Amino acid sequence: MNRLQTIQAITGLCAVLVANTAWAENSPFVGRWHWNRTQSTLPAGEPAPKDVMAEISRMDRTHVKWTLVVLSGQGQSSVESFDAVADGEFYPVTTDTTAAFRVMGSALQATFKGPIGETDTLTCTLSADRNKMTCKGVLSDGEGRIATYVDIYDRM
């Protein structure tokens, strides 16, 4: 895994989905979100996806559920659906990636681990009007090299 565009989007969305486990299905995170390419900052050399759309359908004390559509810069589309446990333990989210989520006040820290020791750790928050989410992340390749990024999503 070289921090695939999908993982970047998944990470941001996972974090947003569980940012406050006290909210029920009418959580302000439930709905459709669109990645804001112009306001987001990718790690140096990282190819940007052409588009990212997400639909968050569930967020409660035990699970988060969403569907993610990523359109690569080459025009290839991938669709991923996830139903993740939100209890702070690591669980598989794809065949080779695990994730854990931890609520920290009004924000959430999410950590993804890849098959060769790489990690993606980020913190996501909502804007005051709950129409924008900001996810600040740090990538580690497992060999001491790190890169930072910021993903911004707008409510549709």
Domain boundaries, the chain: 5-155
CATH architecture label of 5-155? Beta Barrel (2.40)
Q: Which residue has the higher pLDDT, 134 or 61?
A: 134
- Given a cut of 50, is residue 23 above it in pLDDT? no
Summarize pLDDT for 66-106 with one digit per residue, the tens: 788 999 989 999 998 877 777 888 988 888 999 887 666 56
pLDDT tens-digit series, residues 102-119 = 666 566 778 899 999 999
pTM: 0.77
Average pLDDT of the residues of the chain: 79
Cross-strand pairs, 54: 33, 68
